[in-house]
Amino acid sequence: MTDQTMTPEERAASLEGMGCRRKRVEDVRFTQGKGNYVDDIKLPGMLFGAFVRSPYAHARVKSINADAAKALPGVVAVLTAEDLAPLGLHWMPTLAGDKQMVLADGKVLFQGQEVAFVVAEDRYTAADAVELVEVEYEELPVVTDPFRALEPDAPVLREDIKDQKEGAHGPRKHHNHIFTWEQGDREATEKVLEEADVVAEEMIYYHRTHPCPLETCGCVASMDKVTGKLTVWGTFQAPHAIRTVVSLISGIAEHNIRIISPDIGGGFGNKVGAYPGYVCSVVASIVTGRPVKWVENRMENLMSTAFARDYWMKGRIAATKDGRITGLWCHVTADHGGFDACADPTKFPAGFFNICTGSYDIPVAYLCVDGVYTNKAPGGVAYRCSFRVTEAAYFIERMIEVLAIELGMDAAELRRINFIRKDQFPYKSALGWEYDSGDYHTAWEKALKAVDYEGLRREQAQRIEEFKAGKTRKLLGIGLSHFTEIVGAGPVKNCDILGLGMFDSCEIRIHPTGSAIARLGTISQGQGHATTFAQILASELGIPASDITVEEGDTDTAPYGLGTYGSRSTPVAGAATAMAARKIRAKAQMIAAYLLEVHDDDVEWDVDRFVVKGNPERFKTMKEIAFAAYNQAIPGLEPGLEAVSYYDPPNMTYPFRAYICVMEIDVDTGEWQVRQFYALDDCGTRINPMIIEGQVHGGLTEALAIAMGQEIAYDEMGNVKTGTLMDFFIPTAWETPNYITDHTVTPSPHHPIGAKGVGESPNVGGVPAFSNAVHDAFRAFGLRQAHMPHDHWRIWQIAENLGLHA
Ligand code: PCD
Ligand SMILES: [Cu+]
């Protein structure tokens, strides 16, 4: 078929634009082993760095003797805090306004903390030398419980700030206290709770876990002493922010720093923050004049890089007798570990946890979060969690279930009664957010119908009868979850990280022959940006997606952006992409009008061309226009066809979803099996349905892992009990259910293409669905709340405590 004979629909389809299930262009490389990850980077003369780490969770470092290590052939240097101190680099600022030791400065605060950095000719020699470094420790009392940490006689963890009464987020009330963050109306909420017909109260714990990406964190630092230019390849989810931070703390001019994120083997938030390994590699490269590589092993990754969750959430929810929610109260004790290294926007020390009113129209609410230091690893926002939204979703979706029990009501019905109605959007929540759009009732009814909810409840009732009659030992749980997320930080006016406003960017160049390159401030870690952003451009510019290269991650070429996490790429950089494309189209319109010898207003856009209004035979395709931009002298116009957009979103986007999990539970063994999982996602306009489904499958599997077994657990000595993949649960195909995905489409009214984020959603809403299924199975026997993860042992214990074992 030629261009002339194709209908506009056929022309549009041939572009593989928005809505197309376009195959991921990245996978050609990935499936053939042609990815280029940090560890694939090999430079001439490159050295390897490895850490000596603390075996203790809390100890004074009396002395470090590196003589034997230095004497080992092949060892080039051993760095300690003493070496970094003269450079002012023994401590580094964290994204949360705290500071963190780069190498142990007099003491250690968690097991696995970095004590010394050994640099050697190869990785094996570095590992041997690590064993030869002699460190003398004096053990100190360990605190792993945040409630214990706040007792008056609790050991002082952070001696460096013990007398400091003010922290980065206001007053500190105890030597192990970090901040108090209050939102909402305390007085009004407490009054409602006092006067309510029904109040349900519960402590909900979201345990500590870890994103554990396939590829661990690492970097290669290379200081060119001749040009003075520092290049760092690394697993960075925010390369530009890393460049600025490196410049600020090292004093190296920003133009002399080049940060490159090559292919990344999964980020999941683990690669947002800055780690001592980056600083030590840079210093080692400057000191030795040679490139230095540092790549964590799996145990180091699990023990010392950004953990997730560890939130103790005390909730009280009030309602009328007939189930209308009247108020929500929440107090969180947030365990941040030894340093506050959360990657939240500066003004939000507990991230966007104040989305905890969820999908419900709750008239008043009050939230208070206390951050606490303990002898555990720092971090705290990672793992498919835009800024504590996972915790918030789990909290409200558990509180709804507990309230349903208190009211003796069906939990699906309780949700239905309290959902924010379609006509209430844009909706202002009691804790300060403005939800952009939603249609919860439609999604909910669709979900309930798809699984035959009434039928499932009948089956469950029958199962309970059979169980009581001794005919079966298996119970049936129906886990419900409906959650509203908040993704796409900005706006710049209230969101920044270390003072850098959270906008994002896209720069497009159309080549003379009509193909193009687009560069963005974000960075894919597996999400498929090279595929999807080209689709946005294909629809906006009428250029086939296959003719567009999407490039990210090199700060020397990409426009400044804040990176990829918090499902912000589509809401922010995706919007920048559409806006930059529209600038190009505006110029293209002028070029077309000139070529067609008509006024600018007399041409109109038609898929991939401008046509003369009322005369569709006369047109100029985007390809022709591109060539003209470089080949004709057009009066009043500069040559070329390029545009850049820095987009500051007016609001965040609020995707939502309805998930239902049906689970079989063996009361005697605690074994569980997911019989059915239905996931309805509404992320507004869908760019690539196949990628969205992949995102949902991946996110749900991570949710399954978290809810059903994954945990970073400590003993009372502060030893990490789950530091290997033998103990840290990673679901395989065996445990992973066959998900049924579905969707509704409620576009974001403020986003240029109406898209909302989707990458995090399945984890945020999946965990409550799995966990609620476990709880629901035992509801008839009196279970109200049981802490995750729901591994076989803990489920067995629930049954035991409820007296279900003979
Ligand atoms: N509507 C719509 C939306 C979206 N999409 C698509 O999907 C994806 C995603 O997106 P988003 O949501 O926007 O997101 P982003 O930003 O891109 O990304 C981020 C996310 O993403 C997720 N997913 C994933 N995947 C993979 N493969 N890998 C990874 O790593 C990951 N990670 C995870 C996480 S965790 Mo954070 O960091 O925690 O905060 S956050 C996160 C991309 O591709 C896009 O384009 C579409 O299509 N449509
Ligand atoms: Cu997140």
pLDDT tens for 422-477 read 999 999 999 999 999 999 999 999 999 999 999 999 999 999 999 999 999 999 99
Would residue 384 show up in a list of annotated catalytic residues for this protein? yes
Does residue 693 register a pLDDT over 60? yes
Two structure tokens written together for 403? 């309230």
pLDDT band at 3 (very low <50, low <70, confident <90, very high): low
Residue 256 neighbours by CB under 8 Å, 6+ apart: 227, 228, 229, 230
137 HSE (CA, 13 A, CB side): 19
Catalytic residue among 20, 217, 356, 385: 385
Q: What gap in Å lies between CA 675 and CA 656, rounded to an integer?
A: 23
Would residue 760 show up in a list of annotated catalytic residues for this protein? yes
pLDDT for 2:
52
- As a whole number, mean pLDDT of residues 566-591 equals 98
- As a whole number, mean pLDDT of residues 763-782 equals 98
Domains of the chain and CATH, by start: 2-34+504-647 (3.30.365.10), 38-141+216-264+271-304 (3.90.1170.50), 307-430+439-489+652-801 (3.30.365.10)
Two structure tokens written together for 178? 């970090």
What pLDDT digit, counting tens, does each position of 661-675 carry?
Answer: 999 999 999 999 999
Distance of CA 598 to the CA centre of its chain: 50
Task: Kindly give the number of the ligand 1 atom that is closest to the alpha carbon of 213.
Answer: 30
Two structure tokens written together for 806? 């003979």
Q: What gap in Å lies between CA 350 and CA 348, rounded to an integer?
A: 5
The angle at the Cα of 155, spanning 149 to 159, to the nearest 5 degrees, equals: 105
Residue 523 neighbours by CB under 8 Å, 6+ apart: 236, 237, 238, 239, 261, 264, 529, 552, 553, 563, 564
Model pTM? 0.98
Residue 743, ligand 1, Cβ within 6 A: no
**Residue percentage of the chain with pLDDT more than 70:** 100
The angle at the Cα of 676, spanning 671 to 682, to the nearest 5 degrees, equals: 130
- Residue 401: φ, ψ to 5°: -65, -40
Residue 757, ligand 1, Cβ within 6 A: yes
Residue 691, ligand 1, Cβ within 6 A: yes
Residue 120, ligand 1, Cβ within 6 A: no
Distance of CA 581 to the CA centre of its chain: 27
- Looking at the DSSP assignment, which residues form a beta bridge with residue 755? 684
Would residue 237 show up in a list of annotated catalytic residues for this protein? yes
Two structure tokens written together for 433? 């957010």
pLDDT band at 382 (very low <50, low <70, confident <90, very high): confident
Q: What gap in Å lies between CA 637 and CA 389, rounded to an integer?
A: 48
Mutate which of 389, 437, 527 for ligand 1? The one with the most ligand atoms within 8 Å of its CB, which is 527
Residue 763, ligand 1, Cβ within 6 A: no
The Å distance, Cα 530 to ligand 2 centre, comes to 21
**Under 8 Å between Cβ of 169 and 178:** yes
Two structure tokens written together for 21? 């299930």
**Under 8 Å between Cβ of 715 and 425:** no
Q: What gap in Å lies between CA 275 and CA 237, rounded to an integer?
A: 13
Does residue 592 register a pLDDT over 70? yes
322 by Cβ neighbours in 10 Å (0-12 / 13-18 / 19+) ranks as exposed
Task: Kindly give the number of the ligand 1 atom that is closest to the alpha carbon of 569.
Answer: 16
Task: Kindly give the number of the ligand 1 atom that is closest to the alpha carbon of 761.
Answer: 12
Which-ligand-closest: CA of 652? 1
Q: What gap in Å lies between CA 56 and CA 717, rounded to an integer?
A: 8
SS3 17: coil
Mutate which of 570, 682, 691, 751 for ligand 1? The one with the most ligand atoms within 8 Å of its CB, which is 570
Least confident of 378-382, 589-593, 634-638, 738-742: 378-382
The Å distance, Cα 63 to ligand 2 centre, comes to 39
pLDDT band at 784 (very low <50, low <70, confident <90, very high): very high
Mutate which of 572, 695, 763 for ligand 1? The one with the most ligand atoms within 8 Å of its CB, which is 695
Residue 252, ligand 1, Cβ within 6 A: no
Catalytic residue among 202, 485, 760, 779: 760
Q: Which amino acid is at 24?
A: R
pLDDT for 553:
98
**Under 8 Å between Cβ of 284 and 221:** yes
Q: What gap in Å lies between CA 434 and CA 531, rounded to an integer?
A: 31
Does residue 262 register a pLDDT over 80? yes
Would residue 151 show up in a list of annotated catalytic residues for this protein? no
What pLDDT digit, counting tens, does each position of 473-499 carry?
Answer: 999 999 999 999 999 999 999 999 989
Beta strands in 715-785 (DSSP E): 739-743
Q: Please report the sign of the dihedral spanned by the C-alpha atoms of residue 404, residue 410, residue 411, residue 417.
A: negative
459 by Cβ neighbours in 10 Å (0-12 / 13-18 / 19+) ranks as middle
Q: Report the relative pairing of strands 500-501 and 496-497 from DSSP bridges.
A: antiparallel
Which ipTM was obtained for this model? Answer: 0.99
The number of beta carbons lying within 10 Å of the beta carbon of residue 617 is 6
Q: Which helix (H) or strand (E) holds 143?
A: none
Catalytic residue among 384, 398, 463, 519: 384
pLDDT for 1:
47
Q: Which residue has the tokens 């080039």?
A: 76
Does residue 381 register a pLDDT over 90? no
pLDDT band at 323 (very low <50, low <70, confident <90, very high): very high
Q: DSSP assignment, residue 90? A: S
The number of beta carbons lying within 10 Å of the beta carbon of residue 150 is 19
689 by Cβ neighbours in 10 Å (0-12 / 13-18 / 19+) ranks as middle
Of 365 and 381, which is predicted with more confidence?
Answer: 365
**Per-chain mean pLDDT for the chain:** 97
- As a whole number, mean pLDDT of residues 330-355 equals 96
Residue 747, ligand 1, Cβ within 6 A: no
Of 769 and 5, which is predicted with more confidence?
Answer: 769
Which-ligand-closest: CA of 570? 1
